[in-house]
Amino acid sequence: MTITDLSHEIDASILAKALIAGRATGADFAEIYIEDKRSTSAGLDDGKVEQVTSGRDRGAGIRVIAGDTTGFAHTADLSESGLLAAATAAAAAASQGGGGVNTVAFAPMTRQSVNSVRIVPSSVAKSRKVELLMQANDAARSIDGAIVQVSAGYADSMKRILVANSDGVFATDEQVRTIFRISAVANGDSGMQTGYESLGHTMGFEMFDDNDVAELAIRAARQAIVKLRARPAPSGAVPVVIKCGSGGVLFHEACGHGLEADLVAKGASVYKDRRGELVASPLVTLVDDGTMTAEWGAIGIDDEGHVSKRNVLIENGVLTEYMWDYIRARNENRPQTGNGRRQSYSHLPMVRMTNTFVLNGTQDPEDIIKNTPSGVYVAKLGGGSVDTASGDFVFGMTEAYLIENGEITEPLREGNLIGNGPQVLQDIDLLGNDFAMGGPGTCGKDGQGVPVGDGQPTLRVKSLTIGGTAA
């Protein structure tokens, strides 16, 4: 299917008029971001399909910058009069001065719910999407009678964007994403335990040609079953081996946010003024790459209209670059990196990651285990939190095992990994050659969420604190 980009639907001359209106009060910069997003989702719980929904969100956000003041207006009216009114409102807000951000929100148009007949994959019947949910449910429940609850969700979206600004940028992108999630709950003598798996890519329904939802469901169910016999996690500092793909979120949170230029400028990053310094083990090369075909954080352009790039942030342990949005890079005379992103047309862009990952090392992952006499093997990390100013973090371990005499042995109940991002980077002493990306993620920052990916090869951190419950 060919997707028509928004330049065929939006008159460029109207955009030019709106940009002129945005700068009419003497502003330095004006920008228009237009978005048309269609989506479908379906959910299943306890063997029943709870909902199948479709939606459409369409509108424009107009940003005007005058000195250190930003005016912002957003509207669902994409007519000439609607865009001009929003541009005039943003210009008026910017001209008020005083620094900071002044936002003018227009009331959305009242509309009927639109059946998303144009979304990708538009040729697939909703019944087929529901069928995937039922297949996953049946597969998970077939593993063991201890599985007492299964929840599954399917979603796809097609987002078309157009960005034009007073610096001459005029760019479009079309982003199609498909995602499937499943969780399984097992009940046993130790109580209830949960297994979870997800699959998501920047592609259409063809994702299921090479990925079997039944296999995904079986993995989730087996996680839950194994955790029924898990012992309490130990407490204290031990060597920790993190499985390939599963630990990328640690790097996203524990150091990725600290390399975003807006946090650096605010002094809210432990990496401020450290370009050119050794900040990690020489084994570590950290990359943010929006060009990775089909990965969850892949984008053709960022949400300021600039082409996505592959940016090496840390190379052989040395901090080489931060991530930049367009405006901050322009103001500080830095090359922009394609990291200006926003949740929707009603949000301002800010510096955000895309796909963030650690490159391959040279070790066989089995040798990493064998060379670890005792410790913890983390097969999957859960959610966490980080203080970007200090780098201190806490992450949940949703699937972990003991390492004893160089072998993976007993499963552990969920516990926490506690540490410091900069210290972890320095304490990576073994790095595998089995690089993999992890599952799809949503990165939250300042109230906005955007799709991101992360990954890494199997690696060992020579010492991390486990917050377990074992005596």
Rounded Cα–Cα distance for residues 412 and 395 (Å): 15
| 355-358 vs 448-456, strand pairing mode | parallel
Q: Name, in order, each residue with C-beta under 8 angstroms of 216's C-beta and a sequence gap of 6 or more.
A: 136, 180, 182, 197, 199
Rounded Cα–Cα distance for residues 73 and 87 (Å): 7
Distances (CA, A) of 444 to 108, 197, 292: 24, 20, 21
Percent of the chain residues past pLDDT 90, beyond the cut: 73
Q: Look up the CATH number of domain 6-228.
A: 3.30.2290.10
Average pLDDT of span 62-81: 94
Residue 176 contacts residue 156 (beta carbons within 8 Å): yes
pLDDT value, residue 469:
62
pLDDT, tens digit, 9 for 90 and up, residues 274-328: 999 999 999 999 999 999 988 999 999 999 999 999 999 999 999 999 999 988 9
pLDDT classification of 193: cutoffs 50, 70, 90 = very high
Cα 339 to chain center, whole Å? 12
pLDDT classification of 98: cutoffs 50, 70, 90 = low
Rounded Cα–Cα distance for residues 156 and 413 (Å): 33
Q: Name, in order, each residue with C-beta under 8 angstroms of 340's C-beta and a sequence gap of 6 or more.
A: 302, 303, 304, 306, 324, 325, 326, 327, 349, 350, 351, 352
Rounded Cα–Cα distance for residues 418 and 465 (Å): 5
pLDDT value, residue 116:
44
Closest residue by Cα to residue 319 from 265, 262, 273, 386: 273
Q: How far apart are the first and last CA of the chain?
A: 59
What HEC string does the chain produce? Answer: CCCCCHHHCCCHHHHHHHHHHHCCCCCCEEEEEEEEEEEEEEEEECCEEEEEEEEEEEEEEEEEEECCEEEEEEECCCCHHHHHHHHHHHHHHHCCCCCEEEEEECCCCCCCCCCCCCCCCCCCCHHHHHHHHHHHHHHHHHHCCCEEEEEEEEEEEEEEEEEEECCCCEEEEEEEEEEEEEEEEEEECCEEEEEEEEEEECCCHHHHHCCCHHHHHHHHHHHHHHHHCCECCCCEEEEEEECCCCCHHHHHHHHHHHHEHHHHHCCCCCCCCCCCCECCCCCCCEEEECCCCCCCCCCCECCCCCECCEEEEEECCEECCCECCHHHHHHCCCCCCCCEECCCCCCCCEECCCEEEECCCCECHHHHHHCCCEEEEEEEEEEEEECCCCCEEEEEEEEEEEEECCEEEEEECCEEEEEEHHHHHHHEEEEECCCEECCCEEEEECCEEEEEEEEECCEEEEEEEEECCCC
Average pLDDT of span 331-350: 94
pLDDT classification of 112: cutoffs 50, 70, 90 = very low
What residue spans define the domains of the chain?
6-228, 236-467
- Whether 105 shows a pLDDT value over 60: the answer reads no
Average pLDDT of span 245-250: 88
pLDDT classification of 118: cutoffs 50, 70, 90 = very low
pLDDT classification of 107: cutoffs 50, 70, 90 = very low
Cα 369 to chain center, whole Å? 29
pLDDT classification of 101: cutoffs 50, 70, 90 = low
pLDDT, tens digit, 9 for 90 and up, residues 13-29: 899 999 999 998 889 99
pLDDT classification of 377: cutoffs 50, 70, 90 = very high
Average pLDDT of span 214-243: 95
Q: Say how many CA atoms lie within 13 Å of 284 toward its Cβ.
A: 30
Quote the mean pLDDT of the chain: 90
Rounded Cα–Cα distance for residues 470 and 42 (Å): 40
109/348: higher pLDDT = 348
Cα 283 to chain center, whole Å? 25
Rounded Cα–Cα distance for residues 246 and 414 (Å): 15
